[in-house]
Structure 1
């Protein structure tokens, strides 16, 4: 097993472990919901005392710690150049500098901490939400919606793309409709989604599906149409049937392009997830951010954004590693 395959397997195991870890508090919240008749663990949000900059985590010590970590990272990159990727070091150095400047700007009161909470306050807030099981409930709710809608987009986008690419009459009927829908941003469908599907998960499923569907559909069409004619003629010359052409030539040839569409669709679906959760649901990272905004709880708003960013980077890294393995043989 190669290094990339091991990395991919490790990431899958980590994600499975996180899902199991999240499921405990989430199921506890569901039990409380069923017992009391209301979303207790969602609405009974943790309300901590007012955060004061420098009281919970010393900003000076925090900045010094970040600076030391950056220096150690640079030393490690020079000492173990073969094992520490240079782009990763540069990226982490940029993030470290931003965090240091961000913390010190708030520490010296150049910006009101309500308008821009410092990193130390965001960290403490996230720790409090995690300790009380509040954060896990919203993460699990978002991941469930995302993966359900994402796999639904794959299950519909790939077959429809295959049919559009291979059957001209079918394409003439459905392609104009899809082009009309594609140019409308998925969040613009949210009012109609609520009217059509009601309150709850179905509207969010529809918005996320809509965001992920079209990249998968278009890449499937492109991959099928880009199949080289000489390959099709070769298998027909050898006595292959139309199904052989589909199964042994078109689909394998188009698979790398389809997988790229799946990766792009997942990213757009992740973006649409937050928009879909701003209304019509009572749990999820988007809902948590909107609820915190209503309470002027800006540390939770930024904390939710950080969690979304971390999961987005994590999933994109997994898809990029998998994509390299998929297209290696092309």
Structure 2
């Protein structure tokens, strides 16, 4: 376990978002060599937004190991290589009864694009059993005065509007026993002075989870969330300066950043009715020991 002052990662910076996993140093760890799959999601169809890299890639990989047929979204041109890499990784571990995975390019900030994604997935696989709303973007702002209307709208379109749009279209193809899982953040509970828009959207996701779970409980569809702490994903070098990168994750009790594979099992837990049939409206907190109360 790293000490508080020890360098966590080499200095690095990516100038555009979304970030690219294949140029990170070191690459995030999306698979756990000690994990033993046991067909927990056999026969399920999962749609994961932002599944090309980071936590999304780790979830795609783990879901495939567990027998699910996986489709995921990514940003065209900017994430083509990461998306292709993820497809190849999934194909290597998917079970024999799962169908081939799909990577779908889409800007999920717009309703029509979300509708097209859902239509393509259901045309290929017939239904959706698990929807994971995970796509997000993150930028620093020193002051609320820096945040203009176009920037604020862009943030909310990607980070929370997409949850509404994806869910409303996917629900037509979900049935009792299905699960919706949304990625929020520890920032929703603790705040962050330089991530005002990101924190605001992640707080909205927590409220979305709680309200939607009440709306869908009578249909037998569970809605839960995961609120990761500092996890080594492409969002980090694409958001922070090099000095911040070197110490990323050192502020939590474990004094290190987490890896995507350490977060992905939370999604397995919430997706599998055998584990979490009595969970809805809840949020899990893989965050390196930070205590949150909400």
Relative to the length of structure 1, the TM-score reads 0.24
Higher relative contact order (CA 8 A, sep 6+): 2
The structure whose residues are more often strand, as a share, is 2
Task: Pick the structure with greater CA Rg.
Answer: 1
Relative to the length of structure 2, the TM-score reads 0.26
